[in-house]
Amino acid sequence: MPHPSLLAVFAHPDDESLSAGGVLARHASAGARTAVVTATWAADTERAAELAEALRILEAGEPRMLGYADARAPQSAPGRVRFCEASLDESVRRLVMHIREFRPDIVVTHDAYGGLTGHPDHVHTHRVTTLAVQAAGWAQLYPDAGAPWQPGALYLATHPHSAARALGDGRLVREGRAMYSVPDDWITATVDVRPWIEQKIGAVLAHRTEVQRGALPGRIAGLPQAERESLLSTEWYIRHEHVSTVPAQTELTS
């Protein structure tokens, strides 16, 4: 049985590598089609070039960028509206186009908290993606956005409480920052990505701008190799239950 195709939808360049780099590399290594849609930053920026390098490492195709401005970095897309302030209907329509064109079996995105940090762009990406995954299968919604396609499953990249405690001691999440995690029994898929950890870390570090400014990729770069691998070798997902199809075709297996 072929490995299910996978489309990841994340807010910023580097989110794809941090949140789902292992699963993207894993699916690609099994011969599955993989791709990434990034909500913010313009295609002619340095961050976009770094994203292209990260996706090359993960074998996840060329960048697919919606091009909205980052909520906290207006220089990310000069002259463009901030993602959180854009027309919701238009944002959903544009993502529906990518879903219908790529025709994934599985879509992966941020959880409803927006991951550990709760960044507003992450939260909004979750909202837009959940709406777009539903809308993509409805023929009379966005008829100009391509032939309808219903992904078989939507998975939310997340962190259980037990893992968040290990990440939140200042090593990855800065001390004093709020952290958002979920009860351990909410987790649907716990994926061991150690066989693809070199690709995942390489993709994270390809986001050199974030490494240099001391953002999360920079904090990862400063860790000893063994600690990096320990912290990044597992990915956690919640299956969003509004999408239902043949389970064998749409599972993120552990």
User: Each residue of 132-149: pLDDT tens digit?
Assistant: 999 999 999 999 999 999
Single out the residue of 58, 64, 61 nearest to residue 17, CA to CA.
58
Alpha helices (runs of H) in the chain, residue ranges in sequence order = 15-29, 46-58, 88-102, 120-135, 161-167, 197-205, 208-212, 216-221, 225-232
Is residue 203 in some structural domain?
Answer: yes
Tokens 């690709």 found at? 199
Single pTM value for the model:
0.94
Q: Quick one: pLDDT at residue 139?
A: 97
Domain interval for residue 104: 6-249
Q: Would you place residue 254 in the very low, low, confident or very high pLDDT band (cuts 50, 70, 90)?
A: low
Q: Is residue 146 part of a domain?
A: yes
| Two structure tokens written together for 138 | 């409805």
What are the angstrom distances between the C-alpha of 108 and each of 21, 121, 235?
11, 16, 12
* Percentage of the chain modeled with pLDDT above 70: 93
> Is the pLDDT at 245 greater than 90, yes or no?
no
pLDDT band at 253 (very low <50, low <70, confident <90, very high): low
Could you tell me which of 39, 25, 65 has the C-alpha nearest to residue 233?
A: 25
Q: What pLDDT shows up at residue 226? A: 94
Region 74-103: mean pLDDT is 97
Domain membership of residue 254 (yes or no) is no
pLDDT of residue 147: 98
Residue 18: give its domain's CATH number: 3.40.50.10320
Centroid of chain to Cα 77? 20
Q: What is the pLDDT of residue 246?
A: 41
Q: Give the type of residue at 155.
A: Y
Say what the pLDDT of residue 177 is.
Answer: 77
In this structure, is residue 108 part of a structural domain?
A: yes
Over residues 153-158, the mean pLDDT reads: 98
Cα 252 from Cα 19, distance rounded (Å) = 14
Question: 225-232 vs 197-205: helix axis angle to the nearest 10?
Answer: 100
Split into its structural domains, the chain has a count of 1
Q: Which of 57-66, 82-91, 191-200, 244-253 has the lowest mean pLDDT?
A: 244-253
Helix (H, G, I), strand (E, B) or coil at 69: strand
